[in-house]
C-alpha cells in the first residue's frame, strides 16, 4: 500500500462551501453597490452645480425678476443649441447696476479684453445623442421638463437624469408634459389637474406623430 495521505483534509468540503458562499455574497454586494451608484446623483450628477466664471442665479433673474429665458438663451427657438448670453447681454443691465462689484468683475474684464466668458456646461448629452432645443420648444416641451426647477436654483445644477429611460418615457407618451406655448418658458410649472385631457388636445394641436417618436434615428443620427 502507498504511504500517501488523503488528498483532501477533513473539513475541506466545509471550507469550500464557505468560500463559495463568501464569493456569492461578495458578488451580490458588488452588484448592489454598482446598482446603487448608477442610480445615485454621483453618477447622474443631478443636483450638482458646475463652477462658473460668474455666480449667476436663475432664481433671481428668471423667477424673481421674471426675465424671459429667451433674453439670454436667444437661439432656443431657432437652433439645436439654446445659446449662451454674450457679455453684451449681461451689460445691458449691469452697466447700470452692480457693475462695480467684485461679483461682476469677470463680466467687466470680459468686455474690456473682448474675451467671451467661458461658461461650463451643466447638462451634457453623449456624442451619440442628437438633441434639438428648437423642435422640443416648438412641440410644447418646456424648459423645466428637462432642466428641472430652474426657477428655484440659486446656482444652476443639473435637474434631471436625461438618460435613455427618461427620454423614452417622454417620447412614448409626451402628453403628460405638453404645455401651451405661453407656458413653455415659465421658470416653475406643474401639470394642472386636467393635464390628461389638456395634453391630448395639445398633442393634436402640435401635430405630434407619436408613432415616429421612438424611432432610433430620432435621437441617434
CA nearest neighbour of 186 among 147, 156, 157, 154: 147
Answer yes or no: is 133 within a domain. yes
CA nearest neighbour of 186 among 136, 155, 145, 131: 145
Instruction: Say how far apart CA 76 and CA 73 lie, in whole Å.
Output: 6
Answer yes or no: is 71 within a domain. yes
Answer yes or no: is 221 within a domain. no
Are 144 and 136 spatial neighbours (Cβ–Cβ below 8 Å)? no
CB contact set of 48 (below 8 Å; sequence gap of 6+)? 41, 157, 158
The DSSP H or E segment spanning 197 is: helix 195-206
This prediction's pTM: 0.84
Q: What is the pLDDT of residue 166?
A: 95
Answer yes or no: is 130 within a domain. yes
Q: What is the pLDDT of residue 66?
A: 96
Answer yes or no: is 15 within a domain. no
Answer yes or no: is 74 within a domain. yes
Q: Domain range spanning residue 75?
A: 58-84+119-215
Answer yes or no: is 47 within a domain. no
Residue 158: DSSP 8-state: B
Instruction: Say how far apart CA 37 and CA 125 lie, in whole Å.
Output: 19
Return the residue matching grid coordinates 401635430.
Answer: 207
In whole angstroms, what separates CA 80 from the centre of its chain? Answer: 16
The DSSP H or E segment spanning 67 is: none
Answer yes or no: is 43 within a domain. no
Are 188 and 149 spatial neighbours (Cβ–Cβ below 8 Å)? yes
CA nearest neighbour of 150 among 120, 188, 96: 188
Coil, helix or strand at residue 170: helix
Q: What is the pLDDT of residue 13?
A: 82
Q: Could you tell me the three cell numbers for 147? A: 432642466
Structural domains of the chain, count = 1
Q: What is the pLDDT of residue 6?
A: 64
The DSSP H or E segment spanning 101 is: none
CA nearest neighbour of 120 among 53, 170, 176: 53
Per-residue pLDDT of the chain (221 residues; tens, 9 = 90+): 555 656 667 777 888 888 999 999 999 999 999 999 988 999 999 999 999 999 999 999 999 999 999 999 999 999 999 999 999 999 999 999 998 999 999 999 999 999 999 999 999 899 999 999 999 999 999 999 999 999 999 999 999 999 999 999 999 999 999 999 999 999 999 999 999 999 999 999 999 988 889 999 999 98
N- to C-terminal Cα distance for the chain? Answer: 76
Amino acid at each position: 500500500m502507498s504511504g500517501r495521505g488523503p488528498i483532501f483534509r477533513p473539513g475541506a468540503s466545509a471550507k469550500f462551501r464557505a468560500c463559495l458562499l463568501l464569493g456569492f455574497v461578495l458578488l451580490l454586494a458588488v452588484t448592489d453597490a454598482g446598482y446603487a451608484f448608477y442610480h445615485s446623483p454621483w453618477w447622474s450628477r443631478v443636483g450638482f452645480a458646475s463652477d462658473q466664471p460668474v455666480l449667476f442665479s436663475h432664481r433671481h433673474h428668471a423667477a424673481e425678476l421674471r426675465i424671459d429665458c429667451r433674453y439670454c438663451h436667444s437661439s432656443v427657438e431657432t437652433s439645436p443649441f439654446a445659446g449662451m448670453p454674450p457679455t453684451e447681454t449681461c451689460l445691458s443691465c449691469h452697466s447700470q447696476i452692480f457693475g462695480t462689484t467684485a461679483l461682476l468683475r469677470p463680466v467687466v474684464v470680459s468686455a474690456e479684453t473682448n474675451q467671451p466668458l467661458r461658461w461650463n456646461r451643466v447638462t451634457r448629452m453623449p456624442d451619440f445623442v442628437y438633441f434639438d432645443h428648437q423642435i422640443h420648444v416648438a412641440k410644447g416641451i418646456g424648459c423645466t421638463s428637462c432642466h428641472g426647477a430652474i426657477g428655484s436654483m440659486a446656482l444652476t445644477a443639473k435637474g434631471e437624469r436625461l438618460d435613455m429611460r427618461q427620454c423614452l418615457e417622454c417620447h412614448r407618451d409626451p402628453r403628460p408634459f405638453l404645455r401651451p406655448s405661453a407656458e413653455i418658458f415659465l421658470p416653475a410649472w406643474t401639470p394642472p389637474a386636467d393635464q390628461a385631457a389638456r395634453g391630448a388636445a395639445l398633442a393634436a394641436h402640435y401635430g405630434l406623430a407619436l408613432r415616429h417618436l421612438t424611432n432610433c434615428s430620432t435621437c441617434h443620427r
